[in-house]
Every structure is written in C-alpha cells, then in structure tokens.
Amino acid sequence: MLTQSERDSLLDTLSENQKEFIVHFMKRGKRTQFSNLIAKWKAESKSEEGTEDTASNWELIDYIDAGPDWSAAGLQCECGRKLRRQYIVSNKITGVTHKFGRDHFQDHTNISPELAKSIIKGFDKIDFEMDEILIKILDGWSLENEWLPSIPDNMVFPKDIAEHLENDIPLLERQVNRLRDEIRKHLKEREDNEQAKRFREQKRLKAIKRVPIENILSEVTQENPYEHSEKGQAEQPIPNRNMKSVDFNKMRLSLPKEHQDAVRNIINKWPSNDISTLAICWELINNYGANSEMYATNKKPKIYMDVQLMMNRLVEEGVLQLTSKSLDNCLYSILSAVKSVEDQQLNLF
C-alpha cells in the first residue's frame, strides 16, 4: 500500500478528468462497501435482538478527502478532532446526521464493534484499489499489455470497465480477470452459434437431398414468375416477330442439339417479349425431357449454365437483349424470332 505522501504525489500528476473519476470511484466504492456490509451483518447477525436493526438504519451519504492541505480545510470529527477524511452517515429513520473519522463509527452509530471493524476493512479495500490504479498509471498501463484474447468488435464491455477505459483509467486486476472471462464467454457463444448454424445448414441440405426431385421442381415452378404453361400459350397470341437466321454450328454450345432446337422453338412461340434463363430451363425440363437434376444449395437446375451460354450467344446475334442480370437469373427482351442457317439451307432444296 502507498504512503499518503506517495499517493498525493501520484494524484497530482493526473488530469482533472482522471482526478474527478478517482474521487467518484472512492465515494461510490465506500458507499457500496458500507451498504453491503450492513446488509450482510443484518442477515447473519446472531447478536441480541434489535442490534442488527439499529445498524441497518444507517447509510453512508458522503465521503470527503480534504487532500494534502487538510489541516486548513476545516473538516472535523464530532469529537472535535481535525480530519483529512470525513465520513458522513445519516439515520434513515430519525434523519440524524453524523460526521466523523473512520475510527469513530461505533461511537456515533451504536453499531457493534465487529461490524465497525468489518466496515473499516471494507474501506481499506477501496484504498488498496485506488493505490493499484495509481501505481498502474505510474507504470504506463495499457490494455494491450494484459495479454487478453482478441476482443470481438461487437462485444459490449461491462459498465464499470467501460467507464474506466473511457476515462483513461487502468483496470483493476479483478476487472481484467472478469474481462478475460467475458471475452472467452463471448467467443464461445459466437463459436456455438456458428456451429449451430452450420449444423442447421447441413441438416437442411440433407433434407433437400431426401426430397423427391418432382417436389423440388414443383416448388420452384410455382415460385417462377416467368414460367408459362401450354394452356397459357394457347390463350395468348404469339407476337409477330421478324425471323433471324443464326449459324448454331459456329457457337460451340454445350447444350445437346435437340435442346438447342427446343430453345429456338420456345423463344419463337413465347407469348411475351420478356423471357429468362430459368423460364427456358423449366420449359426444357417439363416439356422436352432435359436433365432435371438440381443444385442442392440454390435449387437451380444443373442445365442452367448450358442454357445461359446459349442465351449469351443469342444476345451476340441480336436475337435477345439482356435487361437484368443477377446470380439467381438473367432476364431478356426478345428482339426477333430465330431459325438455324442449316434449316434455311435445307429449305433451298
């Protein structure tokens, strides 16, 4: 523990903000010690009837440290002795207020010697903590030197710890230990949440694999705003479009020849000028016998990329115009109908 001279010298090096924090730290700490010890004594006391009730009527309302020039400050105990540190207590029942030094609690409040001794020890504990703070300031304390686990960006510090850090006050050793435990708890909770999320995702993927492909197609088809039925085609007239000849042999498409022809047929008979890659995929699967396998992660048909490649080539040929593109789907405007150069050459004969 620091001597009073050492304590005063260190306090004199602090900023005004730090000094103010220390003053409030001491007041709050001693009030808390006083009320906690009184409550504990009342709960545990086995002395004669009425003693604990008398003690519980008192509360510490202020603590004043007059500083190095205390002899001229005018603080006094009720016995008449000059004080540097004055404790002010009030009786919650009678309203009586007493001002005295720490050694006169029993004399002026009629509390037991054992309780008075416990209160003084509690006040010493707060003095020790102030010394710990001052020594750490002298040693150039920083949070980085405590070798704590990596602090998560979204972690909320406990109020008392946050107040210390905001006012450039070192943490007490008990606060450092508590912060270390809080960080570990936070990291564990985050890891548990991530693990639970991974488990739910794995469970979802397993469930998808167990669902019949017909059910998945039915679900996706219902959600697809671009799909149309054969009945819908019959009800809506096909727009009158100019026919454009395209040499598909030069496109080097991965889609099978029969499905390339099917795509041309779908575009030519599409009742709207707006069409999408997914819409063509569903038409190929539902009406032209294309592969119905789906990607487990996004429920997208595995033929999607092959169809998308053909759609890109038709954009280059001026048959389609890209209007919207995303990871989920691509939308197009139909600029013209399309026929194969090969078909056109066969018609010449």
Give the domain CATH number at 275.
Answer: 1.10.10.10
Q: Of the candidates 119, 140, 161, which is a domain's last residue?
A: 140
What pLDDT, on the 0 to 100 scale, is given for residue 322?
A: 94
Q: Give the pair of three-digit tokens for residue 266.
A: 């779908």
Q: Of the candidates 140, 167, 197, which is a domain's last residue?
A: 140
63 CB-contact burial (10 Å; exposed 0-12 / middle 13-18 / buried 19+): buried
CA distances from 262 to 235, 247, 318, 338 (A): 21, 15, 19, 11
Residues 6+ apart with CB under 8 A from 228: 270, 271, 272, 279
Q: Is residue 291 part of a domain?
A: yes
What pLDDT, on the 0 to 100 scale, is given for residue 228?
A: 47
Structurally, the chain folds into a number of domains equal to: 2
User: Helices 304-316 and 277-287 meet at what angle, rounded to 10?
Assistant: 120
Phi, then psi, of 79 in degrees rounded to 5: -85, -10
What pLDDT, on the 0 to 100 scale, is given for residue 267?
A: 92
Q: Are residues 135 and 18 in the same domain?
A: yes
Q: Is residue 271 part of a domain?
A: yes
What pLDDT, on the 0 to 100 scale, is given for residue 210?
A: 58
Q: Are residues 132 and 231 in the same domain?
A: no
pLDDT by position in tens, the chain (length 349): 788 888 888 988 999 999 999 999 998 999 998 888 888 877 766 555 544 556 778 888 888 888 888 888 888 888 888 998 898 999 888 888 988 888 787 777 777 778 888 888 988 899 999 999 999 998 999 988 888 888 888 888 999 999 999 999 999 999 999 999 999 988 888 888 888 888 888 887 777 655 555 555 555 444 444 444 444 444 567 788 888 888 877 877 888 889 999 999 999 999 889 999 999 999 998 888 888 888 777 678 889 999 999 999 999 999 999 999 888 899 999 999 988 766 554 444 4
| Count of C-beta atoms within a 10 Å radius of residue 288 | 16
DSSP bridge partners of 87: 63, 100
Per the CB < 8 A criterion, the answer to whether 263 and 310 are in contact is yes
What pLDDT, on the 0 to 100 scale, is given for residue 215?
A: 55
What pLDDT, on the 0 to 100 scale, is given for residue 335?
A: 92
Domain range enclosing 230: 216-348
> Residue 170: which of 31, 20, 2, 18 has the closest Cα?
18
Q: Is residue 206 part of a domain?
A: no
Q: Is residue 148 part of a domain?
A: no
Let me know how many helices (H) and strands (E) the chain has, helices first.
13, 8
